[in-house]
Structure 1
Amino acid sequence: MFTYPQLTPLEQASLPKLIAQPSAIPNKFEDSTHQLFYCQTADGEMVLKVCNQTNIGKSHFWLGANRLFAADFPNSLGTIHLTHNFLEKNGALTVPDFVSASSNRFVISRFLTGEDVKPELIGELWVIQLAEHIAKLHQFTCASWGKLHAPELSATDWASRLQETLIFLLEQHDAPIAEPLLAEVLAQAKNIQEIEFVPVMLDLRWDQFRCLSNNDLALIDLDAFVIAPRALDLVLIEYVLTPAQLALFKQHYTQTHSWPDHTANTPCYQLLLFLMNILGETDLAKWMQRI
C-alpha cells in the first residue's frame, strides 16, 4: 500500500489513490519552507507540497509577508484554491489545476509536464510572457490592500505598517545592520503614501516557473500572492530582470500601464525586499546600488 509522505491517515483518506510511492523532489534551497513530492495517482500525475513548520517560523520572507500584509501563512493554504481560480481568471500564464489542500499542512496540484526555468537561459519570449502576465494582473486594482482574497487594510495604514515591519525585520537579523542610510530610509517610510494596490507575487523568481512543451511559461508556486502597491512590484521586477530583460519587459508592460520613476519610496521598498531575503543578497549597500 502506497502512502503520501508526512501526511496522517486522516489527511490521506480523501486524496487520489496512489499507484506508486511518491518520490521527493530535491529542494533548491537549504531553508526551503516546503518539501515537494512527485505523486503518481489513479487520477494522473500530481505534486504534493508539505509545509516545513520549523523553517516557516524562521523564514524572514514569511515573517515579513505575515507581519506587513497579514498573509496568515501557512493557515492561508486552506483557501489556496481561490488563488488558483483568481490567477486563471486574471493572469496570463498557465497555473496547475488545484486538487486538495489543508490549512498549515499541504497542497496538492496537478503536475505540469515541462522543464524547470533556468535564469541563465531566459529568452525574450519568456520575458514578454511575464510582462503580459504582470500587466494583466495590474489591471485588477484595489483601494485597500493585504490578503489577496480579502484586502481589508486601508491605504492610510500602509506607511505605519511598512515602517513597523521594517523595524521588526531588522530586529530579526542575526547581526545588526549599521548602514548610514538605514535611519533615513526608516524616516521616509512613515511618510509614504500609496493609493494604487494590485496583485503581487512577493517571491517572484524565475525558479517559480516551468517551461511547457509549447515553450509557454507556467507559474507553479502560488502561495505568496498579496494585494500590494504597484510600485513595490515594479521594484521587485527590476531586481529579478537583467537590464536587457527589463528594457524588453517595459516595452510590453507600458503598452497598457505607465512606468513610474523612482521616488523617495523606492529605498523603502528596496530595504523591505532585502530584509525579506527575496533574492538572498546579504550586503545591503550592494543591494541598494543594484537599481
Structure 2
Amino acid sequence: MTEPTEDLVRASAEKALGETVVAANFVALNSNHLYRLETASGARYSLRVPRLRPTALSPFWQYMQDTFGLRYGSQLLSVDPILRAIDEDGLLEAPCPIAATTVGDRPAYIFTWVEGTSWEPDEFPDSGEVHERLGEYVARLHLRTHDKYGTLTEQAFDPVEFVARTNANLRHTISRFWTHRPDIGAWFERHATAMDPDVFTGHLAPIMPDISGNQFVYRDGTPAGVVDLDSYVVGPRELELAVVETCLTRPEDFRRGYESVLPLPRFEEFRAYCRFWMLVCEGGGDPDVDEFLTCRTYFA
C-alpha cells in the first residue's frame, strides 16, 4: 500500500472524531502507517492504517493467523483485554482505542497518543532501569495464565496443538520463501518436527511474539509506554522470552525484574526451536542458521 496523503488522513480522522484536525503527521512505517494527530482543542491521537492486505500477509502475520487465529487488519478492535491488564499492573501506559474509521479503502484505527521518546533498534536501550522495568512488565503479564491459547478474546486451541500448528505454518513458509536454502528445510525436518509439544503446555499467558525495543516509548530513562498492541495474543511465554532474549543489552537486569515476579524457565529446552521460528518467519537476507540460533544466549 502507498502512504495515504495527509489530507486523506485528516479528513478520515475528522469524520471519526467529530472535530477539526489541525495536524496529521506521518510518524513511522511498521505493521501500520502510523500518524500523529492533533485537534483544534489540543488533543493528540495516533491513527494506524494497516499496511498489508489480509490476502497477502507477510510470513510473520501469516503465522499469527495460522497458529493463533489472529486476523490481521481487524485485531486492533480486540485489544481491551491487554489494555485492562496493563492498566491493572500500572507499570506502563498504553494507547486506548477511540474510534475505527477508514482511510481510502483501508480500515484505520484511532488511539490516544502516549507521550515518550521512540526507539528504532530492536535492542532495548543500554540501561539497567529499562531492562529491570521491562522484565517486571513482561512477568506481570505472564502471571495471567490461561488453559488454552489463541487471541486475546478467544482461546480456542489446546496447548498440545501449538507445535503441530507452528510446524504446519513453518513447512508452508519454507516452501514459499526458503527453497534457495536447503539447509533451512533440513534443519526443520531434523529438529523442528521432533520438538516435544509438552515444552509449551505449562504456561500460557498474554505475550507479544515480536517484542523488541521499538515497540515501546521511553521517558526519563525508563519505559513509559507500550505503543504497539498489534500482535498480543495468548500463547506460551517461552516464545516471547526467546524473542526478547535476542533484544537485551543488560540481561541480568532483565532477569532481576522478571524474577521479582516469576522465576525464569530453562531456556535450553525451547530456545533453538523458537529462534528457528524467528529465522523462518522474520529473518531475511542470507542468515547463518547456527549463528542465528546461538547468538545472544544469556540464560541457561
Q: Same fold (TM over 0.5)?
A: yes
Q: Please give the alpha-carbon distance, in whole angstroms, between the structure 2 residues aligned to 1:241 and 1:277.
A: 18
Q: Does 1:99 align with 2:106?
A: no
2:238 match: secondary structure: helix
Preserved CA contact (<8 Å) 2:148 2:155: yes
Q: Does 1:212 align with 2:219?
A: yes
Partner of 2:156: 152
Preserved CA contact (<8 Å) 1:113 1:213: no
Tell me the CA shift for residue 23 of structure 1.
1.8
1:146 match: secondary structure: coil
Partner of 1:248: 253
Q: Please give the alpha-carbon distance, in whole angstroms, between the structure 1 residues aligned to 2:286 and 2:51.
A: 23
Distance verdict in 2 for CA 1:122–1:109, change over 3 Å: farther
Q: Please give the alpha-carbon distance, in whole angstroms, between the structure 2 residues aligned to 1:65 and 1:265.
A: 19
Preserved CA contact (<8 Å) 1:112 1:212: no
Give the alignment partner of residue 292 of structure 2, picking from 259, 284, 287.
287
Partner of 2:204: 197
Give the alignment partner of residue 114 of structure 1, picking from 103, 113, 116.
116
Give the alignment partner of residue 38 of structure 1, picking from 36, 39, 46.
36
Q: Please give the alpha-carbon distance, in whole angstroms, between the structure 1 residues aligned to 2:134 and 2:282.
A: 22
Q: Please give the alpha-carbon distance, in whole angstroms, between the structure 2 residues aligned to 1:288 and 1:215.
A: 29
Of 100-109 and 157-166, the range deviating more from structure 2: 100-109
Q: How high is the TM-score relative to the length of structure 2?
A: 0.82
Letter in 1 for 2:133: Q
Q: Deviations over 1:34-55 (max 9, x none)?
A: 1111111145011111112349
Residues paired across the two proteins, number: 282
Map residues 1-291 of structure 1 onto 2, 5 A cutoff: 5-6=8-9, 13-27=15-29, 32-42=30-40, 44-54=43-53, 57-90=56-89, 92-101=91-100, 105-117=107-119, 119=123, 121-173=125-177, 175-179=179-183, 180-189=186-195, 191-193=196-198, 194-212=201-219, 215-242=222-249, 245-277=250-282, 282-290=287-295, 291=297
Of 139-148 and 270-279, the range deviating more from structure 2: 270-279
Of 107-116 and 178-187, the range deviating more from structure 2: 178-187
Q: Please give the alpha-carbon distance, in whole angstroms, between the structure 1 residues aligned to 2:107 and 2:82.
A: 17
Preserved CA contact (<8 Å) 2:148 2:157: yes
Preserved CA contact (<8 Å) 2:133 2:257: no
Tell me the CA shift for residue 25 of structure 1.
1.6
Tell me the CA shift for residue 174 of structure 1.
5.1
Distance verdict in 2 for CA 1:58–1:188, change over 3 Å: same
Distance verdict in 2 for CA 1:214–1:150, change over 3 Å: same
Q: How high is the TM-score relative to the length of structure 1?
A: 0.85
Tell me the CA shift for residue 79 of structure 1.
2.2
Distance verdict in 2 for CA 1:99–1:162, change over 3 Å: same
Tell me the CA shift for residue 226 of structure 1.
0.7
Letter in 1 for 2:245: E
Distance verdict in 2 for CA 1:91–1:284, change over 3 Å: farther
Q: Deviations over 1:230-250 (max 9, x none)?
A: 2212111211113xx112111
Letter in 2 for 1:196: H
Letter in 1 for 2:37: C
How large is the Cα RMSD of the aligned pairs? 2.9
Of 56-65 and 44-53, the range deviating more from structure 2: 56-65
Tell me the CA shift for residue 90 of structure 1.
4.7
Unaligned runs of 5+ in 2: none
Q: Please give the alpha-carbon distance, in whole angstroms, between the structure 1 residues aligned to 2:62 and 2:26.
A: 26
2:147 match: secondary structure: coil
Preserved CA contact (<8 Å) 1:188 1:265: no
Q: Deviations over 1:177-232 (max 9, x none)?
A: 3224332222223x321221011111211111111358442111111101111221
Unaligned runs of 5+ in 1: none
Q: Please give the alpha-carbon distance, in whole angstroms, between the structure 2 residues aligned to 1:94 and 1:262.
A: 29
1:93 match: secondary structure: coil
Q: Please give the alpha-carbon distance, in whole angstroms, between the structure 2 residues aligned to 1:262 and 1:213.
A: 32
Q: Please give the alpha-carbon distance, in whole angstroms, between the structure 2 residues aligned to 1:278 and 1:87.
A: 29
Preserved CA contact (<8 Å) 1:47 1:110: yes
Distance verdict in 2 for CA 1:106–1:89, change over 3 Å: farther
Letter in 2 for 1:273: M
1:112 match: secondary structure: coil
Letter in 1 for 2:212: R
Preserved CA contact (<8 Å) 2:216 2:228: yes
Q: Percent identity?
A: 17
